Amino acid sequence: MRTYVGGYIPGPSAVQLKTQAEIEPYLQLHCMARTAGASLFVNVGGFAAARGSTRSIELQIVSSRKSESDLRMLCLLIFIYSQNHGGYDKPPAPGADEPDAATGKGYYVLLSQKLAARTVFHQNKVRSDANIKKVIDIWGLKDFSDEVQGIADLSSGNDGEVFKAFIKYDPYALKLYKTGLNEQFVFFQQALFDKRDSAEAKRPAGVAVYHVAVPVGYLTHMDKVGLLFRYIVEPEPSRGPTQDDQNMVEAQMKFCHWLGYLHLDITPRNILLSRDGKAFLMDYDAVCQIGKVPLGPIPPESSNPVKRRDPAGVSDDLHLWQLTLQSYFGMVCLVCVHAFRQDTYVVACSR
């Protein structure tokens, strides 16, 4: 069956471009192009596409198995190709990609470089070490550099490293940030500080969020300033999650929404069970104000709007929460609806 899709692309500079690693598979597509009147027709991997002008693209899908992201990338490649080649030449097959005489680089290398050159991201305006100092100032945190008794490695990722620090024989989680701290995390900490005496902050869910999300100090390790957080001691022997655990984590998510923020990393790896029978939603590094665009790293499980870097809403957290209900709490979610009336969530589930 033929499905018709219409799309408008104002130009590569205004399009959300993917990383080069994600683009590369599409650059290997074999393009066969021919002109007919004022339109360019392109057959690519099961698609029939028609471009009526250099400012818009109309796409007719022959194969219904292609995803929306495939279509978006195909539209983008057709548009850039037509701009670079006037809509008349065809790109070479990857195996016959002869180097350009002036640059010595092939068509696909030049195209990927052009895509990257048109993508601009000012990281220092999103993440920086200065934001660590801002969090320290918000809470008036103490420097424990001279009191630490030992530091052991716990884990590492793209954004930083987590260590287990020992101070006065108590364990703490030390976070070092490779490229600085997300500015949205600073806004989140300020909101926590401003609402610390509210009735919601005194409820169990609020107490739990403050317990794990608010740093208790800082110290310098490996020439970097890191934030200290309370260390959650896991149960021994280990146990599986319960209905009470699910309720606690869901309440913590709702508290963040009440505060005006999204967690945006609600995944099983960020749920920690403690030996005193509690459950915590951890790792608030990806927080974002409701209605704002998350510009920091996001988990692969994120919703499509978040992946497109659209303004984020509660539904984007609920998308992750539904996946977590299925994968971690062992539930099949039939309906997951947020009715933001009196902080009510309607969830119909079956075990």
Express each pLDDT in 159-209 by its tens digit: 789 999 999 999 999 999 998 999 999 999 999 999 999 999 999 999 999
Indicate whether 293 pLDDT > 50. yes
How does residue 17 score in pLDDT terms, banded at 50, 70 and 90? Answer: very low
Pure H helices in 5-129: 20-27, 68-85, 107-117
DSSP 8-state class, residue 81: H
| Angle made by CA atoms 80, 86, 92, in degrees to the nearest 5 | 70
Q: Which pLDDT score, from 0 to 100, does residue 161 have?
A: 94
- Domains with residue ranges and CATH for the chain: 3-117 (no CATH), 127-350 (1.10.510.10)
pLDDT at position 307: 94
| Euclidean distance between CA atoms 188 and 175, whole angstroms | 17
Strand partners, 164: 152, 173
Q: Worst-scoring range by mean pLDDT, 1-10, 63-72, 83-92, 222-231? A: 1-10
E strands of the chain, at which residues?
A: 3-7, 32-36, 39-44, 47-53, 56-61, 127-128, 148-156, 160-167, 170-177, 181-182, 217-221, 224-230, 261-262, 271-273, 279-281, 288-289, 332-339, 344-350
pTM score above 0.75: no
pLDDT single digits (tens) 126-171: 999 999 999 999 999 999 999 999 999 998 876 789 999 999 999 9
Count of beta carbons in the 10 Å neighbourhood of residue 149: 10
- Give the tokens for residue 201: 């902050």
Q: Are 273 and 239 in contact (CB under 8 A)?
A: yes
User: Higher model confidence: residue 246 or residue 3?
Assistant: 246
- Residue 328 CB partners (closer than 8 Å, separation 6+): 241, 268, 271
Q: pLDDT tier at 123 (50, 70, 90 boundaries)?
A: confident
More confident residue, 281 or 78: 281
pLDDT at 120: 72
Residue 326 to residue 180: CA distance in whole angstroms: 33
pLDDT band for position 326 (50/70/90)?
A: very high
Predicted confidence (pLDDT) per residue in 56-111, tens digit: 333 333 333 445 555 555 555 555 544 444 443 455 555 555 565 566 666 656 66
The burial class, CB within 10 Å (0-12 / 13-18 / 19+), for 21 is exposed
pLDDT at 218 over 60: yes
Reduced to 3 states, what is the DSSP secondary structure of residue 77? helix
Q: Tell me if residue 82 falls in helix, strand or coil.
A: helix
Distances (CA, A) of 130 to 51, 56, 127, 179, 286: 47, 42, 8, 11, 17
Banded model confidence at residue 263, pLDDT cuts 50, 70, 90: very high
User: Residue 295 in 3-state DSSP?
Assistant: coil
Q: What is the pLDDT of residues 37-61, one digit of tens each?
A: 223 333 333 333 333 333 333 333 3
pLDDT confidence of 122, banded at 50, 70, 90? Answer: confident
The amino acid sitting at 333 is C
Q: Report pLDDT for 124.
A: 83
Average pLDDT for 327-344: 51
3-class DSSP assignment, residue 124: helix
Closest CA to 261 of 301, 216, 213, 304: 213
